[in-house]
Structure 1
Amino acid sequence: MTDPHPHPARAPGVPAARDRLDRLDRALDELAAAFRGAAARPDESACACHWGNTEELDLLKTPGEDLDRDLLQRAWYGTDWRDPGAVLRRILPQFARELTTGLDGYAWAVDRAGAAFAEAGWQEWPARQSGAVREFLHAWWAYALRVTGPGLLPAREVLMVCTEASGAIGPWLAVWEGTRHPVADHHLAETLDAWDWDLLREELPWRPWAAWPEEAEGAVRTELTAWIAEHAPARLRAAGAPEPLRHSARLLGLPAPTRHQDPHWPPNLT
């Protein structure tokens, strides 16, 4: 019989990854239990021309049944709910499963996922519910650092979601620092390869949807830059990362005027 609620595929032959998958499975099960019976408010509304029809809205107000992927994406991507917390609680068990398996055809929308958590105010929910969300985010991040494969979200995007969902980047970087594993180092190289030019320009490498004040965005960028400058060079060398990438990590540790004058400053970077 096909499991109607599939969990992420196991990474064969990797016991540590299986341990983390077991933790993630438990976290997903706890989300399902903690939010059983949740539904959007009876007076919740949405623009029919831009969001969906009355029948679809009624599904959000009815607990239990999974939504089709398109409706699920419109629910967590929406920005004008009267009660975004109630909407997220309704969809959260299914949404979390979709996140861990790569969002299928909706990975393009992942930049909005963390804000959906933040705007719902999950950290103020009752202890069982907030604890279930917190454990899910930590279990997902620990798993993401140990696995890689087609269809899964890159670790940098999981980091982005967890950072926006929680409002802080430090706890997630601390887990990465403590995860000494070739796959975690591979993710570090991929992340720096995607983000180095933004960070060298002193810009956050994603657009935060959450309502962060400018100083908070700057603090996240500064913390991320400092962490990469301190921890990436040795790990990149050990992983055999390309020399230009290792220079990018080194340059991030230099003050702006000095890095601009360095002979390895990317010539096309302005």
Structure 2
Amino acid sequence: MNMDETRVRLDDALSTLAEAFQGMTAHPDESQCDCHWGSAEELALLKTANVQLEADLLNRTWQATDWRDRAAILRRILPQFTRALVGGCLDLTSPLGHPGAVFAAGEWQQWPARQSRAVWEFLHAWWAHTLNDAHPAVPADDVLAVCTEAAGTLTPWLSVWEQQSHPTATEHLAESLDGWEYDLLMDVLPWRTDRDEEGAEETRVELTTWTISHAPARLRAQHAPEHLLHAVRLLGLTGPDRWYDPHWPVPTPLGPAAE
């Protein structure tokens, strides 16, 4: 699919999602702190169907983690929330919350089939369009993080990236690795996650293994900077072989060998 086709797919996914969640409201008994979150009038808007929320209220709503019924809150805001995501209007670095975690906390995969399919198609359509867009509103590495955290798995998104071998998708790979380089070399998942340590480590290992296998040829074909090629090579090394390599990017070697 080319960029125009993926844009149509994404627009269709957003429209389908809006239809699937039309009329949704927060739970009638939902409450929130009027000192730290907002007013009773704003809470009442969440309990009213099909009312557009101002940007500030939308942000405070998705970033709050103490809702009694997080699934109902997510269903209420999803049409507006997803359009804000696609438009790059949300702060993905906010310490108050991560959009992917909002999806996960809502347990959308357990929702009725029409609703869960709409969410799944939105995530796939957004990712496909991002890989085909040379200048997406949200960088590919951030979209990957949201999709992975929302779905609880990295595998389908990497599979799509592997299949999308055209120059734009490869350029996104180079840009992402430029941001991930240090974290991956330190054996750290390069984005925030609310999953447990084991889940985060499994994702980190999967991302590293995929990068070692699929990135080198694509980066060379794209004439990527040498430091990225060395970073991928270093990911295939362990212990002192990595730390004492002349291209190790950290001035002081780390680990037992440095003691």
The normalised TM-score by structure 1 is 0.90
Provide the C-alpha distance between the structure 1 equivalents of 2:233 and 2:14, rounded to a whole number of angstroms: 39
Q: 1:225 aligns with which of 208, 215, 221?
A: 208
C-alpha distance in structure 1 between counterparts of 2:236 and 2:161, whole Å: 19
Equivalent pair of 1:107/1:153 in contact (CA under 8 Å): no
Confirm or deny: 8 A CA contact 1:230 1:253 kept in the other structure: no
> Which residue does the alignment assign to 2:181?
196
Aligned residue pairs, count: 252
Contact 2:6 2:129 in 1 (8 A): yes
Deviates more, 1:106-115 or 1:51-60: 106-115
Partners of 1:119 and 1:183 in 2: CA distance: 33
Tell me which residue corresponds to 1:165: 150
Aligned to 2:167: 182
Q: Which residues in structure 2 correspond to 1:110-189 (within 5 Å)?
A: 112-149=98-135, 152-189=137-174
The TM-score, its normalising length taken from structure 2, stands at 0.93
Distance 1:198 1:145 in 2: 22
SS of the residue 2:51 aligns to: coil
Aligned-pair distance for 1:113?
0.2
CA distance in 2, matches of 1:140, 1:117: 15
Secondary structure at the aligned position of 1:172 is classed as: helix
What do the CA deviations read for 1:222-254 (whole angstroms, capped 9, x no partner)? 000111111111111111111011100111122
Per the alignment, residue 206 of structure 1 pairs with 191
**What do residues 174-216 of structure 1 show as CA deviations (whole Å, max 9, x unaligned)?**
11000011111111111111111111010111221x2x22111
CA distance in 1, matches of 2:65, 2:117: 24
For 2:148, the aligned partner's letter is T
**Is residue 92–residue 98 contact of structure 2 (8 Å, CA) maintained in 1?**
no
Given that 2:3 and 2:129 are in contact with CA atoms closer than 8 Å, whether structure 1 keeps it comes out as: yes
* 1:68 matched residue in structure 2: 54
Instruction: Give how far 1:148 is off.
Output: 3.2
Contact 1:38 1:90 in 2 (8 A): yes
| SS at 1:109 equivalent | coil
Whole-angstrom CA distance in 2 between matches of 1:49 and 1:164: 30
Alignment correspondent of 1:90: 76
- AA in 2 matched with 1:83: D
Stretch moving more, 247-256 or 47-56: 247-256
2:30 aligned counterpart, secondary structure: coil
Deviation at 1:149, TM superposition (A): 2.4
What residue number does 1:245 align with? 228
Shift of 1:268: 2.7
Q: 1:236 — aligned with what? A: 219
* RMSD over equivalenced CA pairs, Å: 1.5
Asked if 1 retains the 8 angstrom alpha-carbon contact of 2:98 and 2:192, the reply is no
**Partner amino acid, structure 1, of 2:241:** T
Identity %: 55
Structure 1 unaligned regions, length at least 5: 1-14
In the alignment, residue 222 of structure 2 is paired with which amino acid? A
Gaps of 5+ in 2: 255-259
Q: Distance in 1 between matches of 2:55 and 2:134?
A: 23
> Offset at 1:107?
4.5
Cα distance in 2 for partners of 1:44, 1:181 equals 47
SS at match of 2:94: helix
Q: Distance in 1 between matches of 2:240 and 2:110?
A: 43
Q: What is the distance in 2 between the residues matched to 1:149 and 1:51?
A: 34
AA in 2 matched with 1:82: R
Aligned position for 1:215:
198
Q: Deviations over 1:56-96 (max 9, x none)?
A: 10110001021111111111111000000000100101111
Give me the whole-angstrom Cα distance separating, in 2, the residues matched to 1:84 and 1:122: 10
Task: Measure the CA separation in 1 of the matches of 2:112 and 2:72.
Answer: 13
Aligned equivalents of 1:22 and 1:268: distance in 2? 48
Equivalent position amino acid for 1:162 in 2: C
Please show how residues 33-48 of structure 1 align to structure 2 within 5 Å: 33-48=19-34
* Alpha-carbon distance change, 108 to 148 in structure 1, aligned in 2, over 3 angstroms: farther
